């Protein structure tokens, strides 16, 4: 019932008359979208459900973006443009479904996007948050909090703790819910407009690290990516889990990144936020086309 009510509200808000009024809120602003996994057609849902968008839904959302927004490369998001919505598409974690099926949907519409990669987690890796679901619809919040705050979001530490606590982990997930290989990333980069950014080396919670450890994470990842993929790598970083700190911002700035992204937020002006804490609108499962259109038009929705 809640979902039906929400969809009705989104449909009403995304109508042209309402959109004409709300569009004024986003004039002169930009929006950075954050995607994670893509579920290929015909595949069953796996991993943390909120992070995975069905390929058909992703395709419909891209059609809306292509028709109603000025979709630009992330490293051009702050360049002057026309009065229309200015949007950049980003994809975190380099899940195989996103790198393969997701990129093909983008390429079919000539839309640019940046994939944020944690090199130490490439090559068929199953992230701890997907492995520890063991059939649940959502990861237990107490478990998540302990893993992120007490264990620093470090994959090895979380898995060791879970094993000791008797919490089962399932690594037998579909290929799309595992991470891509370097070869698959290279294939994705053959499409115009696809670039890579740093998601740190090993995807820890940077807010739990000291500045020396943070510096190693953000420098090592970009160095590896540049060695492998050259000028297809841009000087942008996405904070793992969307979590950052003053020390993280300092370390990212010292490493000469152009910008760094959080996971929450929405429309903004670059001048109004720190370049090393740029907001993003997280796009999870269940977002309707009307819901996306309403957000593009400047509607404020939960």
pLDDT, tens digit, 9 for 90 and up, residues 119-131: 999 999 999 999 9
- The closest alpha carbon to 206, from 197, 217, 220, belongs to 217
Listed in order, strand segments (DSSP E) in 222-269 are 233-238, 259-261
The tokens 């160095």 sit on which residue? 223
Quickly list DSSP for 113-157: EEEEE-GGG-SS---HHHHTTTT-SS--HHHHHIIIIISTT-HHH
Mean pLDDT, residues 28-32: 93
Structure tokens at 89: 């598409």
pLDDT of residue 5: 39
Tell me the domains of the chain and their CATH numbers: 2-126+173-296 (3.20.20.370)
Q: Quick one: pLDDT band at residue 84, thresholds 50, 70, 90?
A: low
Structure tokens at 197: 């950014």
Residues contacting 95, CB < 8 A, separation 6+: 36, 37, 38, 52, 176, 177, 178, 179, 180
Q: Which of 134-138, 140-144, 151-155, 225-229 has the lowest mean pLDDT?
A: 134-138
Residues contacting 119, CB < 8 A, separation 6+: 201, 220, 221, 224, 225
3-class secondary structure, 174 = coil
pLDDT of residue 7: 47
pTM of the model: 0.92
**Rounded alpha-carbon distances, angstroms, from residue 242 to 188, 203, 267, 276:** 24, 11, 17, 12
pLDDT of residue 138: 78
Structure tokens at 8: 């009705």
């Amino acid at each position: 019932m809640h979902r039906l009510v929400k969809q009705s509200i989104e449909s009403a808000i995304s109508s042209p008359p309402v959109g004409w009024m709300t569009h004024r809120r986003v004039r002169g602003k930009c929006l950075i979208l954050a995607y994670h996994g893509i579920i290929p057609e015909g595949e069953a849902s796996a991993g943390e459900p909120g992070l995975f968008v069905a390929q058909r839904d992703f395709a419909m959302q891209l059609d809306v973006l292509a028709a109603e927004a000025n979709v630009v490369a992330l490293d051009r998001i702050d360049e002057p443009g026309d009065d229309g919505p200015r949007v950049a598409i980003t994809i975190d974690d380099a899940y195989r479904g996103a790198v393969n099926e997701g990129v093909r949907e983008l390429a079919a519409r000539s839309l640019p996007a940046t994939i944020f990669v944690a090199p130490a987690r490439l090559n068929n890796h199953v992230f701890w948050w997907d492995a520890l679901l063991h059939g649940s619809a959502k990861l237990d919040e107490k478990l998540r909090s302990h893993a992120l705050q007490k264990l620093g979001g470090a994959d090895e530490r979380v898995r060791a703790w879970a094993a000791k606590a008797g919490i089962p982990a399932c690594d037998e997930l579909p290929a799309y819910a595992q991470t891509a290989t370097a070869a698959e990333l290279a294939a994705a980069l053959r499409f115009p407009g696809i670039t890579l950014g740093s998601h740190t080396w090993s995807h820890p919670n940077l807010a739990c690290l000291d500045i020396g450890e943070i510096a190693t994470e953000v420098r090592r990842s970009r160095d590896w990516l540049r060695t492998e993929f050259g000028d297809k790598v841009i000087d942008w970083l996405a904070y793992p889990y969307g979590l950052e700190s003053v020390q993280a911002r300092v370390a990212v700035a010292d490493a000469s990144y152009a910008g760094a992204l959080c996971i929450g937020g929405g429309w903004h002006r670059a001048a109004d936020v720190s370049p090393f804490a740029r907001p993003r609108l997280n796009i999870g499962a269940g977002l309707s086309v009307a819901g996306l259109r309403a957000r593009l038009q400047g509607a404020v929705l939960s």
